[in-house]
Structure 1
Amino acid sequence: MPVFSLDPAQTAWCAQLRTLAAETLRPLAEKGEPGRVNRPLVAALGERGLLARLFGAGALELCLLRESLAHGCTEAETALALQGLGTYPVVQAGTRSQQERWLPEVIAGRAVAAFALSEPDAGSDAAALALRAEPDGEGWRLTGEKRWISNAPEADFCTVFARTTEGAGARGVTAFLVPADRPGLGGQALEMLSPHPIGALTFDGVPVTRDDMLGEPDSGFRVAMNTLNLFRPSVGAFAVGMAQAALDATVEHTSRRTAFGGPLKDLQSVAHQVAEMATRTEAARLLVYAAAEAYDDGAADVPKRSAMAKLLATETAQSVVDAAVQLHGARALQRGHLLEHLYREVRAPRIYEGATEVQRSIIAKELYAGKPYAAKEPPV
């Protein structure tokens, strides 16, 4: 299937998701408390089969799912994505026992997951993790802190990345599945710009054993990167969904709002701005779809494509939402307005799961990898 064209079934499914998000999930989101896990919303995602669809989806289907939900209810999109991010390490590297214990609960919307990678001094440089896994008989004791962890501290389990070998960088990290009731595990919520549940986790000698490992010892960084490579294009899809929602609102507003003797759309400066917003949104969407299809096809350049998709889509969404606010004027700054909501939501994706600067570094590294350019003057 060409990346620039969805088939009729995909188009119809996306339309159904947008309607579900706006009419069913949005009311549940509005009843939730900002900064807290909305368990009724998570349960609704499970009841409607969206969490099951999430774990059976390829990258392109995941992008369509996230983009469509984001258009109508960003909270529902984020709740679904966080379940995927926290649980995918269990899907790809968990033991049969771990999967049988947790996957049915997550798919049903009864268990909430967290992906615990970032630390106070290890965000973009994930290989600099300092959370220690200290040997203790047959297992380890986890000591340290994780910060800016979505769904923390309310998650029922966390996929935690800890240092098991000092001085080994990315090669000395092991992934663990840590249930929330483990002794020594604590945490607190953090108040952030966006309304998502985000917090810190503290580990005071939390016991883990080999039965809690996700994958092999010292191979946890690969588990984390495999998860991020899948989800990075879909972060771009989330951004595209927000950009499209802002664009749709702007087309409607500039069509009916009058100024200087006619609708705003008749002002060339306005019409050209809207045209630019639409073009950039579509370009970002196509790059996201191309990256997702490359992932599904097992292409060798997935890291570069994923980075490009996240970079362009998140930067574009920020620009489009900002332009939409400008064209709406003061009403867009009023608490409760769609664009006021999107303006707060759109900023974070440029940072999490690899900041914009990290994506540029990944792209550059991939471009120069294996290129034996000679240090001489280029031919004329």
Structure 2
Amino acid sequence: MPEVVELLERDRPVPAARPAPAGPGSGRELWARLGAAGALPGIYREGLPERGVVPDRLRDLIVRVEADEGTGPLLSVCVQAATVLPLLAEAGRRGPAAADVARRMLDGLSVVALAATDSGPGSDLTALTTHAEETRTGTVLRGTKRWITNAVHADLLLVLARRRPGPHFTNFTWYLVPADDPQVRVEAAPGPYFTGSGTGHVHLDGVPVLADGPVGGAGRGLALFARHIAVERLAGGLWAAAACRRALADTRGRLAERGLWEQPAIRQRLATALVRTRQLETLVEALGPAVAAEHDHTAAALVKAAAGETADHVLDVCAHLCGADGFAAAGMQHRRTEAALFGIAGGSTETVLATVADQAEALLSRPRGAAS
């Protein structure tokens, strides 16, 4: 079945498989390298994060980092490049502090952790308990944020906090706080996954916000989050496609080395996974411009749902076909487990499928048209 090899090698080069580095670098170090090399402005239209990403350029960056740096550093970079930096650049129109941080990030000189997911309600942001208090000396934040990427090595935390009771979307605001403030306590998240991402839990015990106050304006927290999480979901789709493609290339190479590639059942199973990967790539390419330019939430939900389900299927196939070798350190079983991220982070598959279902009538009425 030479067509399978041709499809794997065509269009986008698949980097050769390489062993995991003995001491993988951190996302902070990678961000600094990308900034120093001038690689970050190029992923945005006109070099301006507030103008939105260019999907093809973001894809190229993700493909390179996914192959060379590992999942932890890539997770660190994706959250900042797709969400934090564009959000701060947009908010910078309302406050000089956010604008200054965005400029420093673009040069790789600052790392900012997006502290949205709360203790208790998790990703149900309307139920978060982290809140702002007004004191004689200014606004302070109290609460706990869990599973925050970049928390361990960030300079600043971009914190979503409640400004008044109730679930109304205007009750939430973003604030910037220094990560090294004495009233901030960060603990690294346990576990063997996403090494280098700096993921941790953040405890805020009356930490003062930066003098600019609300980032992007009071009460605009959820609106800004909804706007920029769409692009993070696009980045997840681009990443999932790259991860699936490289996993298939590595698995096919391993099967050929072991003399197993000519077995029909193995060829068929890998080919089926390759079809799913190509479908995801095609979907991301078709919907990427709408997500990047218009923050199309329905298109982003389609990409996110497809990414989670495709990565789960493809990495499961690859892990199974690798046999016992898949259980080696940093082997395919480890990669399969980390691929579960695509069905959880940025909204679970079930959550984004609910968005797709809400738009089912519109989607079915124009099968060849835009997602929204």
Contact 1:311-1:350 at 8 Å conserved across structures: yes
Match of 2:319 in 1: 325
Task: Give the conservation status (yes or no) of the 8 Å contact 2:171–2:219.
Answer: yes
Structure 1 SS opposite 2:294: coil
CA deviation string 1:296-322 (max 9, x = no partner): 4537xx211111111111221121111
Query: Where in structure 1 are there 5+ consecutive unaligned residues?
Result: 1-10, 259-263, 372-380
- SS of the residue corresponding to residue 146 of structure 2 reads strand
Q: Per the alignment, in what secondary structure is the counterpart of residue 202 of structure 1? A: strand
Letter in structure 2 aligned against 1:116? A
Look up the match of 2:307.
313
**Superposition deviation, residue 48 in structure 1:** 2.5
The answer for the alignment partner of 2:31 in structure 1 is 42
**How far apart are residue 142 of structure 1 and its match?**
0.8
| 2:24/2:69 contact within 8 Å kept | no
**How far off is 1:193 after superposition?**
4.6
The 5 Å alignment of 1:90-109 reads 90-94=88-92, 95=94, 97-109=96-108
Distance 1:169 1:129 in 2: 12
Q: Map of 1:44-193 to 2, 5 A cutoff?
A: 44-55=33-44, 56=47, 57-75=53-71, 76-84=73-81, 85-94=83-92, 95=94, 97-137=96-136, 139-193=138-192
Q: 2:340: which partner in 1?
A: 347
- 1: CA distance, partners of 2:130 / 2:170: 14
Question: Aligned partner of 1:83: which letter?
Answer: Q
Q: Which residue of 2 aligns with 1:284?
A: 280
SS in 1 for 2:261: helix
Instruction: Give the TM-score of the pair, scaled to structure 2.
Output: 0.83
1:249 and 2:238 are equivalent in the alignment? no
Q: In the alignment, is the contact (CA less than 8 A) between 1:113 and 1:156 conserved in 2? A: yes
Distance in 2 of aligned mates of 1:328 and 1:353:
29
Deviates more, 1:309-318 or 1:39-48: 39-48
Letter of the 1:323 partner, please give it: V
1:334 maps to 328
Kindly tell me: are residues 293 and 368 of structure 1, through their superposed partners in 2, closer, same or farther at Cα, counting changes over 3 Å?
A: same
Quote the Cα distance in structure 2 between the aligned partners of 1:366 and 1:151.
34
Q: Give 3-state SS (helix, strand or coil) of 2:40's partner.
A: helix
Instruction: Find the aligned partners of 1:116 and 1:368 in 2 and give their Cα distance.
Output: 35
User: Cα gap change, 1:193/1:169 in structure 2, threshold over 3 Å: closer, same or farther?
Assistant: farther
1:139–1:270 CA distance, 2 compared to 1 (3 A)? same
> Alpha-carbon deviation of 1:148?
0.7
Aligned length: 342
Question: 1:345 & 1:126 partners in 2: Cα distance?
Answer: 24
Alignment check: 8 A CA contact 2:151 2:200 kept: yes
Task: Give the 3 Å change call, closer, same or farther, for CA 54–74 of structure 1 in structure 2.
Answer: farther
Aligned to 1:304: 298
Segment of structure 1 superposing worse, 223-232 or 208-217: 208-217
Cα distance, 1:273 vs structure 2: 0.6
What is the alpha-carbon distance in structure 2 between the residues aligned to residue 356 and residue 77 of structure 1? 21
Structure 1 CA distance, aligned partners of 2:157 and 2:128? 16
For the residue of structure 2 that corresponds to 1:310, the secondary structure is helix
Rounded Cα–Cα distance in structure 1 between residues aligned with 2:180 and 2:257 = 55
Indicate conservation of the 8 Å contact 1:124/1:358, yes or no.
no
Question: Partners of 1:358 and 1:287 in 2: how far apart?
Answer: 19
Aligned positions of 1:18-37 closer than 5 A: 30-32=22-24, 37=26
C-alpha distance in 2 between matches for 1:161 and 1:311: 25
- Unpaired runs of 5+ residues, structure 2, are 1-10, 48-52, 365-372
Question: d(CA) in 1 for partners of 2:298 and 2:315?
Answer: 26
| AA of the residue aligned to 2:80 | Q
What one-letter code is carried by the residue in structure 2 that aligns with 1:147?
Answer: R
Paired with 2:276 and 2:269, the residues of 1 have a C-alpha distance of 11
Q: Which moved more, 1:158-167 or 1:83-92?
A: 83-92
| 2:161–2:172 CA contact under 8 A, matched in 1 | yes
Partner of 2:4: none
**Deviation for aligned residue 1:285:** 1.1
Deviations 1:224-248 (A, max 9, x none): 1111011101111111111011110
**Offset of 1:325 from its aligned partner?**
1.4
Q: Distance in 2 between matches of 1:321 and 1:210?
A: 46
Q: Is the 2:140–2:207 Cα contact (8 Å) retained in structure 1?
A: yes
**Counterpart residue identity of residue 87, structure 1:** L
Moved beyond 4 Å, runs of 4+: 368-371
What does residue range 205-216 of structure 1 map to in structure 2 within 5 Å? Answer: 205-208=206-209, 211-216=212-217
